[in-house]
Structure 1
Amino acid sequence: MNSKPNILMLGLDTLRADHLGCYGYDRPTSPFIDKFAERSVLFERCISHAPWTIPSFTSVMSGLDPIRSKVVASPWNVPNYKPVRFDDTAPVLAEVLRDAGYFTLAIDNLLEMGSHPSWFVRGFHEYINLTDSMFLRHHHVLAEQVTDRMLSTNIQALDGPWFAFLHYWDPHLPYNYPKRYDAELPLWLPDAVSAPDGRDYLPRRGYADEISGQFAELIAQYDRSILYLDNELERLFSGLEMAGALENTIVVMFGDHGEAMVEHQVLFEHSLLYEPTVHVPMIVRDFRSGVTGRIRDLVQHHDVAPTLMALCGIEADWLTTGAVMPPFGPNPNRRFTVSIQDGGAAMRALRNERWKLIKHYDPRQSGLARPAALERVELYDLEADPFELDDISERLPDQVAALSAELEAWRLDALGPTEPDPLLDSEQRVDFNDYPGDPELAEFYRGLVRPGAKK
């Protein structure tokens, strides 16, 4: 057995936490993940740095939050969209592990996105790209393809430790699951609760009067995609266990961002900074120690790298903004998390144990080309209003002022007095009328996505 543990890191694209049984969902979407979580450490409140793939995975790999990595959006390949870049001299997880003697493997296609973010390839001895394009309908990488490729590697035969990063695109649109799952999870809607305005609200979905038959079916398709992913993860772990590849292995399983159903009039997309798009699963299992538990502490993606360094006993000259997640290290007592949104409208959200402040920046300040509401804020009491239905910013101006000051102090501490803010210095935007590639998928997005917080 190797002295250093192996690492299996599973990035599950577009997976919101509250559609998994282990996070309280009442549909059987995730029987394997639920059982796996019982033998793991589950972080109940992992908040994504951004509702987009590239910033989130960059934070995982770099150990930096977006304000330091400068990666604040996904590099869409559309006209007038600013390329997304990352410092070529900044270390990334695969490089640090490679230099520590690990064989490094990725099964992924992030390299194909937009302006080709090359930092996702750095440090990997082998980078297996399963597609020559993005996640468009006729190129979408199915979960079974990722599982098949990993099980064919014979990675357990290596003499030294290994690090494998597997990127599962499911349950991302266009919800490409085998049709047999239609019968396993039929159409279903939960009982309604009364929203503050008196309307019926369907938890984890949206207002009842806004959910048409088509939208109800799309929600069911999202859940079926999760069940399909769950079955493929079970097949992956069964194969690795039979091959003896798990005995000395640490597994990190996380979502990069979530997916809105019909909440806040964001339809089957992951823009904006509400809980459905930024509250993601984070599950860590160390097969060596068997440590288990449910952790309430606030964690984010930049915590993954320092946690793995601690678990593997690797000391590296690597300055990250993250911290070792409890119980694997001392409790950092994080007071709040910060998430960002770019790509059409610049926003930041500060979330603490109770309150959530969403700050919309004036587009004239940020230079964004797409029209948006002028600078304003939203405030939610997550204890009393977990679905973020009642914006109380006008009723609690003192609370808004206190949280705004905390957010601004955090920003200035990260940047200093003169460094430009990458979120506000950006020209990044998405115009779906110019969306390249599959016309059918482009039309699907144009028909469904209506960004904007409901007032």
Structure 2
Amino acid sequence: MNKKTNIILFGIDSLRRDHMSSYGYHRLTTPHIDKLAEKGVLFKNHFSPSIPTTPGYASMLTGMDCFGTDIVALRHEGPMGDHVQTLAEVLNKQSYNTTCVGFSGNPSSRGFQNYLDYEAWQPDETGRCPKAENLNDVVIPELKRLAGEEAPFFLFIRHMDPHSPYLPPKPFERLFYDGDEKNPANQSLKALYEFKPFADFMKSWIPEGCTDSEYVDAQYDGALAYMDACIQNILTSVEALNIAEETLIVITSDHGETLNEHDCWYDHHGLYDHNLVVPLIIKYPGKVPEGVTVSSPTFIKDIMPTLLELIEIETDIPFDGESLVSQLNVTHESEKQPAEFYITECTWMRKHGWRTHEWKLICALEPDLHFKPEIELYNLKQDPLELNNQAEQEPETVQILMEKMNDYISAREKQTGRPNPMYKNLNWHGLDRGPFQSSQEAYDSMYIGSIHTARRLQAKQKKEQNV
């Protein structure tokens, strides 16, 4: 038995919490994760306030918010600053073996001893992409190697199944759909196909002639079910290796996903809750109670300090997040309202805002490609799907929330001694130019042409990686 605890962190990309049966979704998409949650703690209101991928993982793997990491954009320029330490770097100092799967070349993947990649984008000869099986072909041998070493290990695994293109293999592609996806009378994908920035990318993987958005939504759910089955392969290996009792397992995500909603089709931009609210499940036999649900608000920046406290490693890092260990023994749902917090996005639009338990304010820092209004305001209690913009009807609420947001920004800038990264990342789009002056300019400039282009946007060149 290892002297120290192993950690397996499933940092799943684009995992939408409300499409997991673990969280009450009506389709049985995650039965194996459901069983794991029954043996651990499920966090009901877990937020990733800065989307998309790059800032989300940076917060997950450092315990810092976007002011602490200085990372807000998908296309972050340069390495992550040396003023922060990654979880891998901390564990390396504690004589851990550390391996990262599916995340090489990203700023926040700094510090792992081993980097392994797998095919997570291109379809095979069947037209589908068995992403999770490709991952297992890499992960399971590495897991067995790590388990055979005397040192404890940290294994970080980035699944890509919930990230478009959604291409689960048979039978998962029709597990939740039994209609006619090519019905000419169905026009639910018409607006997507007319949206120039995304149309060619979506047509490169959505079947030719498909008209039904419910079919594409079902591909997402099928991808979750397929990934869930493959995750069980990994959990079975953990049991077979007799390391389950000494292994801390975490399942979470960098952000959620947009389906056929808000005109932000099958991506993860837009500061709506289906992108900001993500899963967090922790299982650790003997140290974490079984079957507990924590409903008080938690954040992605809390993950690293929580894991370090659970495995009894102390550091002098002044985390922005806080350990959740004190909440693990809650046996009833808390009535505590979600905290007020700052939210940011910098993928296809540069926006920020302020979220309370009742209201959400979204402010555009430059015109966006969807021609959305500069200010959006949603009453989350009356309008949980965020469909009715109340900015014009509630100017006083807009003013109050904007003042709270600006006061928070000023306070964090003073604390860190650095400007808000949302203000200084003016080349967030990677076009080597300044901010867009109009929505039409943004629409004409932002374009995903193919799966190849989408994959390039997800990864920095390895020569830029600082490990």
* Contact 1:357/1:403 (<8 A) preserved: yes
The alpha-carbon distance between structure 1 residues 352 and 184, as it changes in their structure 2 partners (threshold 3 A), is: same
**Which residue of structure 2 aligns with residue 73 of structure 1?**
73
Residue 115 of structure 2, aligned match among 109, 115, 127 = 127
CA distance in 2, matches of 1:270, 1:48: 12
Residue 156 of structure 1, aligned match among 124, 128, 147 = 147
Deviation at 1:88, TM superposition (A): 3.0
Matched, 1:184 2:183: no
Deviation at 1:320, TM superposition (A): 1.5
Residue 354 of structure 2, aligned match among 335, 340, 350 = 350
Matched, 1:39 2:43: no
**Which residue of structure 2 aligns with residue 449 of structure 1?**
none
Deviation at 1:140, TM superposition (A): 6.8
CA distance in 1, matches of 2:113, 2:93: 11
The alpha-carbon distance between structure 1 residues 35 and 322, as it changes in their structure 2 partners (threshold 3 A), is: same
CA distance in 2, matches of 1:436, 1:157: 47
Cα deviation code 1:157-216 (max 9, x no counterpart)? 222321110111111111121122134322479xxxxxxxxxxxxxxxxx9997983322
The alpha-carbon distance between structure 1 residues 208 and 290, as it changes in their structure 2 partners (threshold 3 A), is: same
Query: Which ranges of structure 1 fall in alignment gaps of 5 or more residues?
Result: 76-81, 112-116, 190-206, 364-369, 445-455
CA distance in 2, matches of 1:141, 1:337: 38
For the residue of structure 2 that corresponds to 1:185, the secondary structure is coil
Which sits farther off after the overlay, 59-68 or 284-293?
284-293
**Which residue of structure 2 aligns with residue 109 of structure 1?**
103
Residue 88 of structure 2, aligned match among 94, 98, 106 = 94
Cα deviation code 1:291-339 (max 9, x no counterpart)? 1311112222111111011111111121221011251499999722322
Cα deviation code 1:200-242 (max 9, x no counterpart)? xxxxxxx999798332211111111011101011111012111
**Which residue of structure 2 aligns with residue 218 of structure 1?**
216
Give 2:395's aligned amino acid: P
For the residue of structure 2 that corresponds to 1:264, the secondary structure is coil
CA distance in 1, matches of 2:430, 2:261: 21
The alpha-carbon distance between structure 1 residues 88 and 373, as it changes in their structure 2 partners (threshold 3 A), is: same
Deviation at 1:430, TM superposition (A): 5.7
The alpha-carbon distance between structure 1 residues 129 and 88, as it changes in their structure 2 partners (threshold 3 A), is: farther
Give 2:422's aligned amino acid: L
**Which residue of structure 2 aligns with residue 200 of structure 1?**
none
CA distance in 2, matches of 1:140, 1:318: 41
**Which residue of structure 1 aligns with residue 421 of structure 2?**
422
* Contact 2:129/2:168 (<8 A) preserved: no
* Contact 1:5/1:312 (<8 A) preserved: yes
**Which residue of structure 2 aligns with residue 23 of structure 1?**
23
The alpha-carbon distance between structure 1 residues 55 and 135, as it changes in their structure 2 partners (threshold 3 A), is: farther
Give 1:379's aligned amino acid: L
Matched, 1:173 2:152: no
**Which residue of structure 1 aligns with residue 285 of structure 2?**
287
Which sits farther off after the overlay, 259-268 or 323-332?
323-332
* Contact 1:362/1:374 (<8 A) preserved: no
**Which residue of structure 1 aligns with residue 344 of structure 2?**
340
Cα deviation code 1:253-291 (max 9, x no counterpart)? 101111111111111111111012221111111123341
The alpha-carbon distance between structure 1 residues 23 and 103, as it changes in their structure 2 partners (threshold 3 A), is: same
**Which residue of structure 1 aligns with residue 407 of structure 2?**
409
CA distance in 2, matches of 1:68, 1:271: 22
For the residue of structure 1 that corresponds to 2:313, the secondary structure is coil
Deviation at 1:84, TM superposition (A): 4.5
For the residue of structure 2 that corresponds to 1:62, the secondary structure is coil
CA distance in 1, matches of 2:348, 2:164: 20
CA distance in 1, matches of 2:302, 2:70: 17
Give 2:165's aligned amino acid: P
For the residue of structure 2 that corresponds to 1:306, the secondary structure is helix
**Superposed counterparts of 1:231-250, under 5 Å:** 231-250=229-248
The alpha-carbon distance between structure 1 residues 419 and 151, as it changes in their structure 2 partners (threshold 3 A), is: closer
**Which residue of structure 2 aligns with residue 260 of structure 1?**
258
For the residue of structure 1 that corresponds to 2:158, the secondary structure is strand
Cα deviation code 1:38-94 (max 9, x no counterpart)? 22211111121333111111111111111221111112xxxxxx7243103421110
**Which residue of structure 1 aligns with residue 183 of structure 2?**
none
The alpha-carbon distance between structure 1 residues 371 and 24, as it changes in their structure 2 partners (threshold 3 A), is: closer
CA distance in 2, matches of 1:146, 1:208: 31
Residue 276 of structure 2, aligned match among 267, 275, 278 = 278
**Which residue of structure 2 aligns with residue 199 of structure 1?**
none
* Contact 2:174/2:222 (<8 A) preserved: no
Which sits farther off after the overlay, 292-301 or 51-60?
292-301
Deviation at 1:141, TM superposition (A): 7.6
Give 1:411's aligned amino acid: I
Give 2:19's aligned amino acid: H
Give 2:375's aligned amino acid: V
* Contact 2:78/2:107 (<8 A) preserved: no
Which sits farther off after the overlay, 433-442 or 33-42?
433-442
Give 2:5's aligned amino acid: P
* Contact 1:249/1:288 (<8 A) preserved: no
Deviation at 1:397, TM superposition (A): 2.6
Which sits farther off after the overlay, 217-226 or 98-107?
98-107
The alpha-carbon distance between structure 1 residues 209 and 389, as it changes in their structure 2 partners (threshold 3 A), is: farther
**Which residue of structure 1 aligns with residue 305 of structure 2?**
306
For the residue of structure 2 that corresponds to 1:221, the secondary structure is helix
* Contact 2:104/2:115 (<8 A) preserved: no
**Which residue of structure 2 aligns with residue 361 of structure 1?**
365
Superposition TM-score, scaled by structure 1 size: 0.80
Task: Tell me the matched-pair count.
Answer: 409
Give 1:158's aligned amino acid: E
For the residue of structure 2 that corresponds to 1:54, the secondary structure is helix
Task: Give the percent of matched residue pairs that are identical in Structure 1 and Structure 2.
Answer: 26
Cα deviation code 1:350-396 (max 9, x no counterpart)? 22222222122245xxxxxx767698322222222111112222223
Superposition TM-score, scaled by structure 2 size: 0.79
* Contact 1:188/1:220 (<8 A) preserved: no
